[in-house]
Structure 1
Amino acid sequence: MENDIMHGGRQPGPDHPITIEPADARVIVRIGATVLAESVNALVLREATYPPVIYVPREEIAMDELEPSATSTHCPFKGDASYFSIAGGGTRDVAWSYEDPFDAMVAIKDHLAFYHDRVDTIETVEHD
C-alpha cells in the first residue's frame, strides 16, 4: 500500500523516499547583516533526488523579521505549505513552512525552511 493515498497524503516509499534527521550542526541563516535564524536543533529533510532541505524550529527564528505571504503550495507527501517574506516589503517568499503537515511529516511541524537563493547565507557549523 505504500504511496497509496492514506490519511494525511501520500506515504513516502521506495519510489519516493523521504527521511528526516537532526542536522548535527549549528545552522545560521542571514539576509544582509540580519540573522534570521540560528539553530542547534535544525532538521535535514532528504526527499527522493532533490537536494537536502534544512528545517529550522520556529522558536529559533527571528519571526519578527518575517511576515506571512499570500503564497501557498501543495505537496502530496508533506501537505500545504505557507510562505514567509521579509517584513516591511523585503524579499518575497524567503521561507516556507508546513503548518499542518501530513502524519508522516509531523517532525517538520513548527519548522521553516529557507530558499538558498533568497537569503544571503545558510551556514552550517559543526557543533563544538
Structure 2
Amino acid sequence: MLDTANTARITLHPHTRRVRIYSDDTLIADTKDAIELRERGYPNRHYIPEEDVDMSQLSTSSTVTHCPFKGDSTYYSLSSITDVAWSYDQPVEQMQAIAGRLAFDTKKVTQQTE
C-alpha cells in the first residue's frame, strides 16, 4: 500500500493488471501501471499514467473542482462526452503518487480490467 493522506478515508494501491478505457470501440487508455485509489463512500478509481492515455482525444474542460484530501482537479472531455476524466496535477503532499495520472468516469466510458 502506498502512503496516503488519511488512511481511514483514502488508500492507494499499485494495480499491475491491465486496465483499458474505451469510448464505444475507441481505445482511450491502456496501462499495466495504474494506481487504484480507494476512498470511503466512493467507487474505486484507477489512476492511469498520462503517457498511457491518448491525450490527443481529450480536451481540457472548464470544470475545476477541489477535494480537501486530494487537491484541485482538472477535467477533460472527449468530443462527445463532457468531463469524462480528471487529474490532480499538483495534489496534496500525501497524494503525490497520483500526480500526472488520469481517472475516468466509468459511467461515461467502459473500463476493462484483465
Instruction: Give TM-score scaled by structure 1 length.
Output: 0.82
Aligned residue among 50, 53, 74 for 1:58: 50
Please give the alpha-carbon distance, in whole angstroms, between the structure 1 residues aligned to 2:43 and 2:57: 26
Please give the alpha-carbon distance, in whole angstroms, between the structure 1 residues aligned to 2:113 and 2:7: 29
Please give the alpha-carbon distance, in whole angstroms, between the structure 2 residues aligned to 1:24 and 1:63: 22
Establish whether residue 113 from structure 1 lines up as the match of residue 107 from structure 2: no
Please give the alpha-carbon distance, in whole angstroms, between the structure 2 residues aligned to 1:55 and 1:19: 13
C-alpha displacement at 1:113, in angstroms?
A: 0.3
Aligned residue among 6, 9, 15 for 1:12: 6
Please give the alpha-carbon distance, in whole angstroms, between the structure 2 residues aligned to 1:123 and 1:101: 26
Any stretches of 5+ residues in structure 2 without a counterpart? none
C-alpha displacement at 1:18, in angstroms?
A: 1.1
Runs of 4+ in 1 over 3 A off after TM superposition: none
- 1:37-85 Cα shifts (integer Å, max 9, x gaps): 0000011001123221111000000000000000010000000011000
Partner residue of 1:96? Answer: 86
Aligned residue among 96, 110, 123 for 2:112: 123
Any stretches of 5+ residues in structure 1 without a counterpart? 1-10
Establish whether residue 30 from structure 1 lines up as the match of residue 22 from structure 2: yes
C-alpha displacement at 1:27, in angstroms?
A: 0.2
Cα RMSD (Å)? 1.1
Please give the alpha-carbon distance, in whole angstroms, between the structure 2 residues aligned to 1:13 and 1:62: 32
Instruction: Give TM-score scaled by structure 2 length.
Output: 0.92
C-alpha displacement at 1:13, in angstroms?
A: 4.6
Q: Greater CA radius of gyration, 1 or 2? A: 1
